[in-house]
Amino acid sequence: MLDLRPNCECCDADLPPDSRVARICSFECTFCADCAENRLGGRCPNCGGELLRRPIRPADRLARFPASTKRVLKAGGCAAALLAVLGLGACADQKTAGGRVTTASAGAGMSELGAIYRGASTRYRAAPRGCPSPGLVTFHVMNGQFTYRLSGNVQFEVMANPDGTLSARAGDYVLSGTMTDQKIEGDVRNANCGFHILARRKF
């Protein structure tokens, strides 16, 4: 059963149990829609999972199973969430103090630096039919790794090399490029289609 936490973990905005702007991950880390969509790119800063609208508990059930009153707040707010040192299972690893809960990072050796890059892909080569459409891109990079979905059945699992170069393959598509602390830039191509990608880091 969901706790129905009463506030945004980033900005501490109130999120009553009937709120339509509450967003949660699978561990029920809770954020407001503004933080989730405009600051966190739709991803939980603790586990990297998707943030979706929290369901509303019917009023008669809410009377029997009331919402939590324990406020959960990420130390440092949304700025810390974006550049936090993350670890697998961080959502489930929380410490309580004085009625408030502060998210704890994973132990040494398991931490990863998270960053969000946003930009667009442009198509520079296309066969008459069959090439995916270009569009906006968002990369959630953790420890030099990210996923890029070009189309429904073409998905790259990308890891940066020590020199910052990128290389990956998905089906008959090849991705090559570079990643710095400021931007990700590269090309994706096969025999018929070619795309250029440019995404800049959001601070």
Domain for residue 9, yes or no? Answer: no
Nearest to 10 by CA among 42, 32, 37, 43: 32
| Shared domain check, 171 and 121 | yes
| Shared domain check, 120 and 97 | no
In the listed set 79, 103, 127, which residue is the last one of a domain according to the structure?
103
**What span, in angstroms and rounded, lies between the C-alpha atoms of 148 and 156?**
5
pLDDT computed for residue 117 by the predictor:
92
In the listed set 103, 130, 158, which residue is the last one of a domain according to the structure?
103
Per-position pLDDT tens, the chain of length 203: 899 999 999 888 999 999 999 999 999 999 999 888 877 888 888 888 889 999 999 999 999 999 999 998 876 666 555 554 333 334 444 443 344 444 433 332 323 457 889 988 888 887 766 788 888 889 999 888 899 988 878 899 999 988 899 999 999 999 999 999 899 999 999 988 999 999 998 87
| Shared domain check, 143 and 99 | no
pLDDT computed for residue 17 by the predictor:
95
Whole-angstrom CA distances from 170 to 17, 26, 78, 148 are 43, 28, 34, 10
Tokens matching residue 153: 């059945």
Q: What is the pTM of this model?
A: 0.46
For 39-56, letters b (16+ CB in 10 Å) and e give bbbebbbbbbeebeebee
3-state helix, strand, coil in the chain (%, to 5): 10, 45, 45
CATH number of the domain enclosing 179: 2.40.128
For 24-82, give the DSSP string: E-TT--EEEHHIIIIISTTB-TTT-PBPEEPPPPPHHHHHHSPPP--EE--TTHHHHHH
pLDDT computed for residue 134 by the predictor:
84
Domain for residue 139, yes or no? Answer: yes
Residue 195 class from Cβ within 10 Å (0-12 exposed, 13-18 middle, 19+ buried)? buried
pLDDT computed for residue 108 by the predictor:
29
| Shared domain check, 117 and 192 | yes
In the listed set 103, 125, 159, which residue is the last one of a domain according to the structure?
103
**What span, in angstroms and rounded, lies between the C-alpha atoms of 98 and 84?**
23
Domain count, the chain: 2
| Shared domain check, 117 and 182 | yes
pLDDT computed for residue 154 by the predictor:
87
pLDDT computed for residue 80 by the predictor:
55
Domain for residue 177, yes or no? Answer: yes
| Shared domain check, 59 and 83 | yes
Which residue range(s) make up the domain with 139?
112-202
